[in-house]
Amino acid sequence: DQQVKQNSPSLSVQEGRISILNCDYTNSMFDYFLWYKKYPAEGPTFLISISSIKDKNEDGRFTVFLNKSAKHLSLHIVPSQPGDSAVYFCAASSGRGSTLGRLYFGRGTQLTVWP
């Protein structure tokens, strides 16, 4: 069962514009969410995270928004740069229960930023 879903397999954005990557989850026990950037044959690089007690977290060009009632989060990249082109993974975890210490991943969104 896919508890974290990224429904857009790809996104193409012009350099300088905003990139918005979306993620939905089904498990209401998730209380910590992360975004990773990944290149083929490399490990995921951590970008930004958010705890369920917040609805927004910013770090430079990256902002993550969390809507708990909709079980939805999004990553905004502003402005987008060609170097941002990669696969972006959304992940979720729970700080309690049998799923503690485990990350659930979406299938990823391939972001392409063109000049």
Establish if 100 lies at the interface with another protein (CB under 8 A): yes
Establish if 89 lies at the interface with another protein (CB under 8 A): yes
Token pair 């514009």 is found at: 17
- Contact set for another protein, span 42-71 (CB under 8 A): 42-46, 49
Nearest to 18 by CA among 72, 69, 67, 65: 65
From candidates 33, 35, 36, 88, binder to another protein by CB under 8 A? 36
Structure-derived torsion over alpha carbons of residues 36, 53, 100, 7, reported in degrees to the nearest 10: -40
- Contact set for another protein, span 14-33 (CB under 8 A): 32
Nearest to 91 by CA among 10, 35, 26: 35
In the complex, the residues that contact another protein under the rule CB under 8 A are: 32, 34, 36, 41-46, 49, 89, 91, 93-96, 98-108
